[in-house]
Amino acid sequence: MCGILALFGAENCNGDLRAELLSLSKLLRHRGPDWNGITCFRNCYLAHERLAINGLLSGAQPITNISGDLALSVNGEIYNHLELRAELEKINPNVVFTTDSDCEVILHLFKEHGPEFLKKVYVNGMYAFVLYDNSTDTYFVARDPIGIIPLYIGYGSDGTIWFSSELKGLQKNCDHIELFPPGHYVVGNSLKKEKLNPEPKPFYQDEWISNPDFIPCNPVDYTVLRNNLESAVRRHLLAEVPFGVLLSGGLDSSLVASIALREYNKAGNQGKLRSFCIGLKGSPDLAAAEQVANFLGTRHFSFEFTVQQGLDVLHDVIYHLETFDVTTVRASTPMFLLSRRVKATGVKMVLSGEGADEIMAGYLYFHKAPNPEELHKETVRKLKDLHKYDCLRANKSTMAWGLEARVPFLDREFLEYAMNLDPSCKMSGDRIEKYALRKAFDTPEDPYLPQEVLWRQKEQFSDGVGYGWIDHLKIEAENSVTDLQMKFASSRFPVSTPRTKEEYMYRDIFSKHFPAPAAAATVPQGKSVACSTPAAMAWDESFSRNADPSGRAIAGVHVKAYE
């Protein structure tokens, strides 16, 4: 995981401009503290801040090919790079790899197949990259299908086009900034101004995401479901540095930890796999994580934080998140604090459980889904928006400290398998949410988890770290935001006007870090509740009246246990 920054269409590449690019790239250095590089071709720059996870000896970026006409700057990991490399060498025995980086394969795929290669070749990974072909003056930019890795596109008043891993790399020079859409790519020419700002085109068009009328019908096979998730976790263990697992004690992170531990032991690693959790004293997550860690036998690190410590870092959290969404800020603060503690142990990569609730309909409001068809459409909508919320949280909370978070549930192969299952297997009704996933790992003869954890009800992450965290955020907002400020909120913040004092507090902090209107426009209109879509609101009238995104707010669903 790294930070990338690129500029195309500059009038010329001189020393002053290079110095400016270097200073802007330094704003991303928390993402890549291990090394940096800048490459210039005529009127474009590619900059890179490196976090070394694979290819430690020769993986510095930007990567160039042997002839020096291609340059590549990547943020991410390509999990099937060995298979792709073997295929390339079959097609072209003369291909020369100049590094041991898993990302270099992208450069050669472009050289072999051209800009359409992402449509032709099955690339499994999390990535955002910028590539420049000096021989044809062509730049090529793309982002992974779900948007696990952040990427922004900005437009300067001088006709330049910019790309950056984070908003903070663009706001100084761009009048208009957008989130680069997941599963898309752009191709343009740096020297030809009229071709500088092409529209992103989709390359990822699996039917579940591209056809709004598609309803899958594949029956669930619990063994196949289990095997697919195990394969996804196995792929995500590709690393040459110390790694661990984030373990909240909930179903998703516990399953990832259990599978990772089995793979870790199979590989003959010395010592115990490390697991990490954080919460307020006495929180549900701390107790559940301890139980899972004891059952699995991991080397467990259980960290407590105080409400005051959380409040103390709110400004830093919003600076790194680059959002003022309530749910995201609530959940990111403990994750931000945890990431700093994890990095201090020497770990540079962790596995996390994001994506399971969207794929397997795990949020509590899915209990209200009227039928499988509506449930499936809602899971698709959630996944399409995931890059704005949970993917952003998982990536930026950890990368603030140079820690890479990987999300096996969003592995492309597992995602495509699970999103093509008949949605009736994901319906809750009178069953606990994510029943199929739990059932797949309910193997008493060789248990993955304790029964009470395997069948533990869903908690929002910001709830699980301790209910007092959210309650004190509301108190802080009530004390710091006046009724008069709320009365004139629309005048001060015409873009994404805050509706509650907590929203106002986050919006105010954001505006101090990112004052430009172009910055605020990149943040999606706040999702006041996890189910705040017209379709989901129709499931239950109470959703439309609910201003609290906490999992506790889903009336009649958040209960201690199912009978």
Cβ pair 104, 168 in contact under 8 A: no
Strand, coil or helix: what is 77? strand
Structure tokens at 134: 């000096």
2 is catalytic: yes
Nearest residue to 218 (alpha-carbon basis) of 407, 376, 438: 376
Q: Which of 2, 44, 103, 277 is catalytic?
A: 2
In this structure, the number of other CB atoms found within 10 A of the CB of residue 94 comes to 6
Rounded to whole angstroms, how far apart are CA atoms 106 and 87? 13
Nearest residue to 231 (alpha-carbon basis) of 419, 418, 424, 452: 418
Structure tokens at 117: 């290669």
Specify which residues 2 forms β-bridges with. Answer: 50
In this structure, the number of other CB atoms found within 10 A of the CB of residue 34 comes to 17
**Angle at the Cα of 37 from the Cα atoms of 35 and 43, rounded to 5 degrees:** 165
Q: Which whole-number Å values give the CA distances from 269 to 243, 274, 346, in the listed order? A: 11, 12, 16
Rounded to whole angstroms, how far apart are CA atoms 137 and 116? 16
Cβ pair 244, 350 in contact under 8 A: yes
Tokens 């990111």 found at: 332
Rounded to whole angstroms, how far apart are CA atoms 92 and 148? 31
Residues 6+ apart with CB under 8 A from 283: 464, 465, 466
Strand, coil or helix: what is 447? coil
- Catalytic residue positions? 2
